[in-house]
Structure 1
Amino acid sequence: MSDVATALNTVRGKVRDAAQRSGRSQDAVRLVLVTKTVAPERVREAIAAGQRDLGENKVQEGQGKAQALANLDPPPRWSMIGHLQTNKVKDVLGFADEVQSLDRLSLATALDRRLQQLGRSLDVLVQVNSSGEASKYGLTAQEVPAFLKELTAFSALRPRGFMTLATFTADEAEVRRCFRLMRDVREKACQEAPQGEALADLSMGMSGDYEWAIEEGATIVRVGQAVFGPRAVPDAHYWPGETTSR
């Protein structure tokens, strides 16, 4: 068994145990494996170990990996989990089955317009800034109700819930505060928003805090380094045109 497969099994076990502690089954939590800066060969090891859901932060990197892994049957399911510029919508829809970072109406408009042209629809999660940090993208909790009403105008978008990045800190109480805020946002939306119970998903928790997130109600966790190890500074020539570290 490869080191990737071994680490993946360890993470799956922790997901199962955290889900049980929250009174749910392991199947109630979807593991999205973040492949940021990871070479396709190592991603293949995870897929061979049964991992189908993959997540990417950068459109160009996602495109490259999706192409490199396109010959798999069945192909992996890609989620766009990073900030998405409107001028990248056409590219992201070439490989992504889901966008977890919907954070503004201009992006909803661009996605819907392109999806209408393609004759397809798309699962989306609304990104919420639960930490209040200016460096993070996303709506405030107070902005969510009005945004969800606006989304009803975009028939090609299927809002499924919410995504957040908690405060990057070792302070468990602060991290859990962010997750509990998101649980409250979801519960209110399921009761009051036009989309109702369709907004059941909560994507929160990464390698350092996914167990806490599951205990607080996450239905999706985004884990990368716990499986692939610490990220190295990427080769500037590995993904053509990308020269900044990720």
Structure 2
Amino acid sequence: MSIDRIRESIATAARKAGRDPDEVTLIAVSKVQPEARVLPVLEAGHRVFGENRVQEAQGRWGALAPRFPGTEIHLIGPLQTNKARAAMELAHAIHSLDRPRLAETLARLAQERGACPELFVQVNTGAEPQKAGVLPDDADGFVARCRDLDLPVMGLMCIPPAEQDPAPHFAALREMAARNGLAELSMGMSGDFETAIAQGATHVRVGAAIFGARG
């Protein structure tokens, strides 16, 4: 499916939900995709891309981004504290703020730099032991802690369990965000972004449906 088809699907899902399509940001997940697949998406005018690993993103976008002004990199994978400085220099947004130590590291670096990317707290809505993210019962307290550190938390992010209906997870994330006065929701991927939009997603992370299968 092409980037134009995905844009059309997003617009249709938004209108069906009574929303303005412009409220939804499409993050084209370019992680591990070859440049030959990424270039046509850039040439089609898209400028918001998702990457998992800081080092991989640096290698790709250090050369590509200057050729395409306005390119934004959103880091959507787990972030190690020792990569935090590089992440802050590279990223427009970090979607995987998930633990106190990382929050404290980002806060210290933000004070040093006088700037910080937009931040999303990742919530493990399914309480899956193998998955990163703050547990739902801890989310309110963690958001408050991040605010105490003057971090620019814009919203919440989740990745629902693969084998479950994502809608209740998206709804739960929306309720958590509303309770904490957060306007942004990073949720929905290639298989469920339309459901996420119906539940209020402001950012959807779509990879395979744009670029094809990885590998």
CA distance in 2, matches of 1:63, 1:73: 15
Report the equivalent of 2:202: 219
Work out the percentage of aligned pairs sharing the same amino acid.
Answer: 38
Aligned pair count?
215
> Is this contact kept in 2: 1:180–1:216, CA < 8 A?
yes
CA RMSD of aligned residues (A): 1.3
Q: Secondary structure at the match of 1:152?
A: helix
Q: Which residue of 2 aligns with 1:230?
A: 213
Does residue 160 of the first structure (1) align with residue 172 of the second (2)? no
- For 2:141, the aligned partner's letter is A
Q: Which residue of 2 aligns with 1:236?
A: none
In structure 2, what is the equivalent of residue 50 of structure 1? 45
Q: Which moved more, 1:87-96 or 1:97-106?
A: 87-96
- The one-letter code matched in structure 1 to 2:173 is M
- In the alignment, the residues of structure 1 paired with residue 180 and residue 115 of structure 2 have an alpha-carbon distance, to the nearest angstrom, of 25
Q: Distance in 1 between matches of 2:27 and 2:12?
A: 17
**Corresponding residue number in structure 2 for 1:210:** 193
Equivalence map 1:95-134=2 (5 Å): 95-134=90-129
Q: Find the aligned partners of 1:93 and 1:158 in 2 and give their Cα distance.
A: 12
Q: Describe the SS at the equivalent of 1:146.
A: helix
Written as runs of structure 1 = structure 2, the 5 A alignment for 1:1-246 is: 7-155=2-150, 157-169=151-163, 171=164, 174-190=165-181, 199-232=182-215
CA distance in 1, matches of 2:43, 2:63: 15
What SS does the aligned partner of 2:177 have?
A: helix
Q: Secondary structure of 2:156's partner?
A: strand
Unaligned stretches of 5+ residues in structure 1: 1-5, 191-198, 233-246
Letter in 1 for 2:162: F
Contact 2:74 2:92 in 1 (8 A): yes
SS at match of 2:67: coil
CA offsets 1:142-193 (integer angstroms, 9 cap, x no match): 11111122112323x2110100001113x5xx21111111111112112xxx
Q: Distance in 2 between matches of 1:70 and 1:211?
A: 29
- Partner in structure 2 of residue 193 of structure 1: none
Aligned residue type for 1:220: H
Contact 2:147 2:153 in 1 (8 A): no
How many Å separate the matches in 1 of 2:40 and 2:185?
A: 27
> Partner amino acid for 2:178?
E
The one-letter amino acid paired with 2:155 is: G
Q: Which residue of 2 aligns with 1:241?
A: none
Normalized against structure 1, the TM-score is what?
Answer: 0.84
Contact 1:40 1:68 in 2 (8 A): no
Report the Cα distance in structure 2 between the residues aligned to 1:36 and 1:180, rounded to whole angstroms.
27
Whole-angstrom distance in 2 between the partners of 1:217 and 1:186: 10
Residue 73 of structure 1 and its aligned partner are, at CA, apart by: 4.1
Q: Which runs of 4+ in 1 moved over 4 A?
A: none
Deviates more, 1:65-74 or 1:84-93: 65-74
Contact 1:127–1:163 (CA<8 Å) still a contact in 2?
yes
For residue 129 of structure 1, give the secondary structure of its aligned residue in structure 2. Answer: coil
- Give 5+ residue unaligned stretches, structure 2: none
TM-score, scaled relative to structure 2:
0.95
